[in-house]
Amino acid sequence: MSVPLYEPINTIKPVAENIWIVDGDSIRMKVITFGLPFSTRMTIVKLKDGSLWCHSPVKPTESLFKEINLLGEVKHLVSPNPIHYAYIGDWQKQYPHATAWASPGVEKRASSQNIEVSFDKDLKDTPPSDWSDEIDQLIFRGSAVMEEVVFFHKDSRTLILTDLIENFETKRTKSWFWRTIYKLAGIADPDGKTPIDLRMTFTGRKDKARESLKRMLEWHPEKVILAHGRWYKENGTEELKRAFRWLEK
């Protein structure tokens, strides 16, 4: 495996009270014309009504479903951006009464890829009443091609991101080629950032991104969960400032 997985995979791991992650298998995504191998990660929050909020669901397994069913009822399936949705259809088959939430542009993207998935409601710049007391959110704006919805779990002070920061541990990556590509893309730990190809799409529109970052910093996150690579268990606000320093240029 050219990219390290965060084993054990496909099992629930606690982050704080009522919030967990699940590390999944690897996928390949296009960055700088390369099909890079990426590790995957989803986040689960148990809301005060006992239901489960599932962010960027990974490829499911029967054993994972069994673990999740012990936590509570899956009520929300969340696509945070247009390239994080591929397994929502599989989760819908298991939880047909769950609401699938669409990020900006994801329905068009899914249609173009012939992925079988249907969405029930759209994510906005403010949280719906379903979770507004417990999870805040905003649409990170400024990219000409992709907007990501970011979330903040208030009780645990955890920011939940997807592709706005990627942080691959090159010391755990066996392939020298992929280690080099991760560094060139600006997504190598300990200085993981927004991938360079995505950063380029903010050209001429960084003022919008700066405003989004300002709002995120006002949450003062302690933890930052990432979908790809090592996530930040502490010093979340400082990691945000570091990772987004490219907006200062």
Q: Which one, of 54, 46, 42, lies nearest residue 9 by Cα? A: 42
pLDDT at 126: 97
Chain position carrying tokens 């599932």: 54
Q: Which range is least confidently modeled, 109-113, 233-237, 244-248?
A: 109-113
Per-residue pLDDT, averaged over 202-221, amounts to: 98
Q: Which one, of 216, 219, 215, lies nearest residue 157 by Cα? A: 219
Q: Is the pLDDT of residue 1 over 70?
A: no
Beta strand 19-31 with 12-16 is: antiparallel
Per-residue pLDDT, averaged over 13-34, amounts to: 84
pLDDT at 165: 98
CA distance 23 to 3: 13
For residue range 50-78, what is the model confidence (pLDDT) as tens digits? Answer: 999 999 999 999 999 999 999 999 999 99
% of the chain surpassing 90 pLDDT = 82
pTM: 0.95
pLDDT at 29: 67
**Residues 136 and 221 sit within 8 Å (Cβ to Cβ):** no
Domains of the chain, with CATH numbers?
12-248 (3.60.15.10)
pLDDT at 172: 84
